[in-house]
Amino acid sequence: MVTIQDFFGGSKRRAAVQLLDRSLDTFGVNPAYVDDGMRFAIYRWAQEAAAGTVSESGVMDALMRRAAELISFCVLGPGETEAAWGPGVRREREARFDAVLANGDEESFDAKLIKLVLAKEIAAPDIQARVSLEDSESEKS
């Protein structure tokens, strides 16, 4: 028997989206910055990344938290990230961000997250400038 809850996505999706919201809040981003369309896209990408793993639900939880970390870095920028959590956390998140730019794989989970934040125009100005700079440098090559 299919319940209304299952028809509209069930409790797995709701739990994952709630985890994303709590994680965003923990990482200093008001969850209101992330609209429902963004939440469901992030959920879908995490679901695709977790598919076929041994512990799908554990992987989903980790991916939703990691998504919130990267979104937080993109929204707050390096300066605010360092002010809130210290230079070690800033370096870690910045390295993850830089790895996406250096890799060039636009279909990775992290690349999709960065593109989503940029498309929704919620990225910090210095993050926006770094991606624009990377884009213009790659066009020159």
- Return the pLDDT at 3: 41
Distance CA 114, CA 119 (A): 9
- Return the pLDDT at 94: 96
Token pair 């919620």: residue: 122
Cβ atoms 10, 51 nearer than 8 A: no
- Return the pLDDT at 11: 84
Q: From 116, 134, 135, 40, select the one nearest 75 (Cα to Cα).
A: 116
Give the burial class of 6: count Cβ atoms within 10 A of its Cβ; 0-12 exposed, 13-18 middle, 19 or more buried. exposed
Q: What is the pLDDT along the chain (141 residues), one digit of tens a residue?
A: 344 444 445 688 899 999 999 999 999 999 999 999 999 999 999 999 988 887 877 899 999 999 999 999 999 999 999 999 999 999 999 999 999 999 888 899 999 999 999 999 999 999 999 886 565 455 544
